[in-house]
Chain A
Amino acid sequence: MDLKEWFASRKKQKEIEAVKPLAASEDICLLWKQCFQCRELLYTNALRENFNVCPKCQYHFRIGAMDRIEQLFDEGSFHELDANLESADPLKFFDTDSYVKRQKEASRKSGLREAIVTGEGEIEGEKACLGVMDFGHFGGSMGSVVGEKVARLTEYATEKRLPLILVSSSGGARMQEGIFSLMQLAKTSSALKSFSDAGLLYISILSEPTYGGVTASFAMLGDINIAEPGARIGFAGRRVIEQTIRQKLPADFQTAEYLLKHGQVDMVVERGKLKSKLAFLIKFHSHSNAKAQKAPPRPKAATR
């Protein structure tokens, strides 16, 4: 077994070395992208048009919040909410560098203020509230701002009686905000409780990767949970579990398909079909609401 593994890893190493020179130049990186799964070279523009999904092997690349919004909402219908929230540094946190500096660095890399963008818009003409996390910003981690924006969006949707959609992509709670980050789990779940009690529809979309505090709060609380193909979703990370139980985990452990098999998500939907699926779900549930509202007068007429 060990020998086999060694050969496999050597083969992989050689493959990586063989491919490297191609990706060396910045220009090539901009124009071409290599699929992580099948190693096919893909023309960036064509890849974008295909929802950032590899046409050959259906590998779903991670996408940023703005790309996701563009894919899901009708053109020009998106209005951002609470765009001006910024993280504070309540603990004056310093590890090998200060939290403030790391925040700036994260914003420079992602072009975003925080790890989530929230707003209101239309999906095939259906009004909805949408929050999209961006793994590219600070590993999509949830601190006070992410918690606050999710809570505000949920309250806004409750007030306007709109369906709520949250797209998760996160490494978990943000350590640099310590106990405040942990409390965001309670804050978001509590807001969702009131939303749910109002009889409204919440669809949670779990994308690659969703872990820790985000999975253990709003991401798993959808009336409908949808996962993207191949996405890794879980509570504890794979390595932590392997260290705890001291045995190897199956290769497909914690993937979207594995979760579907274990009853944790309702469906796995390809990115290209996600928008129409959402529109269907919203229409389906608003229709049943209308029917329920019409129902009461009928028995009255019968008793008379």
Chain B
Amino acid sequence: MTEKKTIPLEFEKPLEVLAQQIEALEKQIIEHPELEGDIDHLKKQYENLRRSLYSNLSASDHLAIARHAQRPYTRDYFDRWDPNWVELHGDRKGMDDAAMVTGLIDIGDFKIIGVGTQKGRSLRDKQQCNFGMPQPEGYRKALRLFKHAEKFGLPVVTLIDTPGAYPGMAAEEHNQAEAIAFNLFELAGLKVPVIAVVTGEGGSGGALAIGVANRVMMLEHSVYSVISPEGCASILWRSADKDKDAARAMKITAKEILDLGVIDEVISEPLGGAHHDYDVAAANLKKAIIKQLEKLVPMAGDEVRADRQKKFRDIGAFHEATA
């Protein structure tokens, strides 16, 4: 355990009650040694409940874990992979967006360009990072690093955890849409390998703008969707509190998206979610990335580009009538 006590989510409340009972009994154990059997029994019950709870999660439960306030963010992963990683700043055109983190990282035997969205932990942090919603300048900063990677033949690893691109007035004036579109366009043409991992929320175009990769993976409890479930509910159901229905209907969980053939792999998290153990989560992620790098790095540049373009060319579901 690396962090202080984790905050329980709504669906974890029964577990919390049981844990409190165990704790209360443990306090009395010196006076009443005969309670030991009861405690063991309760502990066993606790473990069973925990396991069954986490193996039957609904789409909105996954969403809650993905949005958990203590969920590890991009910097937490970078720090654990390489304590000496070097951050690079700015889009060179007038801004350094804190919602997009970029840097030079050693991971295993590989040197990579890391790019990821950052949500921020404290309130001030969160405001600075705009709650993980990049401005157009953030996407242009990422693009600068993609070009840097291309120039020096370094693979790119992106970590995605964003509610979406920021919908603000300045963002529109600075052409948020073009910033995203141009990233998709340029990522499609890169000749260095790109690996993308959705670590929390994969919010629509703002997520995809750093997600056009040779291999796209998702953490077990992360979600990826075309619009937030709240947004979808308010448009299609005309009521934002139908978000649970929308989350289910849109198929946003890692497992469902893997089954649809849109991503390549689901990376397992510590029981209950990555926020229970940052070190294990970071190690799992590192292992999965290195496995993919080992396959992609030996490929020729043109092959890498063709592989990525083919991957997205093949995604889609339609009928072709023979008439």
Residues of chain A at the chain B interface (Cβ within 8 Å): 84-91, 93-96, 144-145, 147-148, 151, 173-175, 177-187, 189-194, 196-197, 212-213, 215-221, 234-236, 240-241, 244-245, 249, 253-254, 262-264
Contacts and interface: CB of A to CB of B under 8 A. Distances in A.
24 contacts: A84-B321, A84-B322, A86-B318, A88-B319, A93-B250, A95-B246, A95-B249, A147-B316, A179-B250, A180-B317, A182-B208, A187-B312, A190-B184, A190-B313, A193-B189, A193-B309, A194-B188, A216-B181, A218-B181, A219-B181, A220-B182, A221-B182, A235-B172, A235-B176
A286 to B, nearest CB: 23
A293 to B, nearest CB: 24
Contacts of B166: 244
Contact of A184 (B209, B225, B232, B316): B316
A263 B136 CA distance: 14
B181 A220 contact: yes
A244 to B, nearest CB: 5
A178 B212 contact: no
B319 A173 contact: no
Contacts of B245: 95
Contacts of A236: 165, 167, 171-172, 176
A277 B246 CA distance: 44
Contact of A187 (B165, B227, B316): B316
Contacts of B312: 183, 186-187, 190
Given A179-B251, A183-B312, A245 B212 contact: no
Contact of A87 (B168, B188, B318): B318
- Chain B interface helix/strand/loop/mixed: helix
Given A95-B236, A179-B225, A190 B309 contact: yes
Contacts, number: 194
B173 A262 contact: yes
A11 B193 CA distance: 61
A189 B185 contact: yes
Contact of B181 (A84, A179, A194, A217): A217
Nearest to A249: B169
Leading 5 A-B pairs by shortest Cβ distance: A236-B167, A190-B188, A189-B184, A144-B316, A90-B317
A216 B185 contact: no
Interface in B195-229: 204-205, 208-209, 211-212, 224-227
B110 interface: no
Contacts of B177: 215-216, 219-220, 234-235
Given A197-B189, A262-B173, 12 more contacts: A85-B318, A85-B321, A86-B318, A90-B317, A93-B249, A175-B250, A189-B188, A218-B181, A235-B205, A236-B165, A245-B169, A249-B169
B252 interface: yes
A194 B308 CA distance: 12
Nearest to B321: A84
A179 B272 CA distance: 25
Interface string B258-274: 00101000000000000
B252 A178 contact: yes
Given A173-B227, A179-B257, A190-B212, A145 B250 contact: no
Contacts of A90: 260, 317
A175 B186 CA distance: 25
